[in-house]
Amino acid sequence: MFQNIGEILFMFWRTLLAMPQVFRQRQKVFEQLFEIGNRSLLMACILSLFIGGVVALQSGPVLVERGIGNALGGLVGISLAKELAPVMMSVLIAGRIGSAMAAEIGSMRVYQEIDALRTMNINPIHYLVLPRILAISVALPTLVLFAILVGWLGGGFVSVVNHRIAISFQTFFSNLKEVVEVKDVINGLIKSFVFAVMIGTVSCHQGLTTIGGPRGIGRSVTKAVVNSIVLILIADYYLTRFLLVIDHD
């Protein structure tokens, strides 16, 4: 599945080397940012509202039964900020934006548009890959920040409304404020930044290496999404360990 991990890393390296081109390509970065925001902001908000809600719903009654219902805010707050929002949003973006990147670049590859760029001495890494990776790595952490806030609201709402939990909004949020620190949110944003870079790199690489006509485009899209999600989940474990170590130093 990841036999071309070397190739992917090499492409990422070439993208890093292309960083000085960013200013020239800023217009395309903005276009991509707009595209991503436009396609995903609403979806991200709805999704995180429900994620926050379900965490409260699952753990709220358990805590309330044991008389520690007022710890719910912290629990929901931490799990959303450090884990659920970054991972779920990244999976959502892999499906929505990673797929679009692979499809777009893949069809450019299949219909020789990339060859045409190369004959004009326009480097596809500068022209296509750099703006996309940059845009997604700005957009995803921003979406995650939204998702965390909306998710907390969702959790708080359910805690108030659900009769088996039924704690007040104030209890929920004062506990959340007490437990969750800024660095926890930053922790989640760092994770999502790493995931964003992975989604962008894997999807662009998959697009660039598309072969075999329109069916090849379909295959590339599937691979880009599946590989991104698998990578996100594996990287999540190691990133969490890494960030925990840093946290305790």
Partner 1 sequence: MTDAPTHSIGVQVRGLRKSYDEQPVLKGIDLKIERGEVFVIMGPSGSGKSVLLRHVIGLEDPDEGEILLDGESLRITNVAERFRLAMVFQSGALLSSLTVGENVGLYLAEHRLKKPDEIDRVVTEKLEFLGLRGVKHKMPSELSGGMKKRVAIARALVIDPQLILYDEPTSELDPLSTITIGEEILALKERIHVTSLVVTHDRDLAFGVADRIAIMSEGEILFTGTPDEVRKSQHPFIRKFLTADFKFNASSQSA
Stretch that binds partner 1, among 5-13, 118-126, 184-192, 218-226 (CB under 8 A): 118-126
What is 56-100 written as a DSSP string?
HHHHHHHHHHTT-GGGHHHHHHHHIIIIIHHHHHHHHHIIIIIHH
Minimum Å distance from CB 95 to partner 1? 21
Minimum Å distance from CB 160 to partner 1? 47
How many chain residues interact with partner 1 (CB under 8 A)? 16
Residues in region 85-104 near partner 1 by CB under 8 A: 104
- Give yes or no for residue 38 binding partner 1 (CB under 8 A): no
Nearer to partner 1, 215 or 241 (CB): 215
User: Is 124:208 a contact under the CB 8 Å cutoff?
Assistant: yes
Minimum Å distance from CB 116 to partner 1? 4
Nearer to partner 1, 3 or 121 (CB): 121
Interface residue with partner 1 among 15, 32, 99, 107 (CB under 8 A) is 107
CA distance 249 to 126: 39
Nearer to partner 1, 104 or 184 (CB): 104
Minimum Å distance from CB 166 to partner 1? 53
CA distance 230 to 43: 22
Nearer to partner 1, 3 or 119 (CB): 119
Minimum Å distance from CB 13 to partner 1? 17
Compute φ and ψ for 212, nearest 5 degrees. Answer: 90, 45
Helices (H), the chain: 5-17, 26-65, 72-79, 85-93, 99-110, 113-119, 124, 130-161, 169-179, 182-208, 213-248
- Give yes or no for residue 30 binding partner 1 (CB under 8 A): no
- Give yes or no for residue 7 binding partner 1 (CB under 8 A): no
Query: For residue 25, what are the contacts with CB-CB under 8 A and spacing of at least 6?
Result: 126, 127, 130, 131
- As given in the structure block, the two tokens for residue 1 are 């599945």
Whole-Å CA distances, 214 to 4, 29, 66, 87, 205: 22, 27, 58, 31, 17
Minimum Å distance from CB 237 to partner 1? 38
- Give yes or no for residue 233 binding partner 1 (CB under 8 A): no
Compute φ and ψ for 122, nearest 5 degrees. Answer: -100, 120
- Give yes or no for residue 118 binding partner 1 (CB under 8 A): yes
- Give yes or no for residue 108 binding partner 1 (CB under 8 A): yes
- Give yes or no for residue 119 binding partner 1 (CB under 8 A): yes
Q: Which residue has the tokens 């450090």?
A: 82
Interface residue with partner 1 among 17, 26, 42, 115 (CB under 8 A) is 115
By CB under 8 A, name the binding residues for partner 1. 24, 104, 107-108, 111-113, 115-122, 127
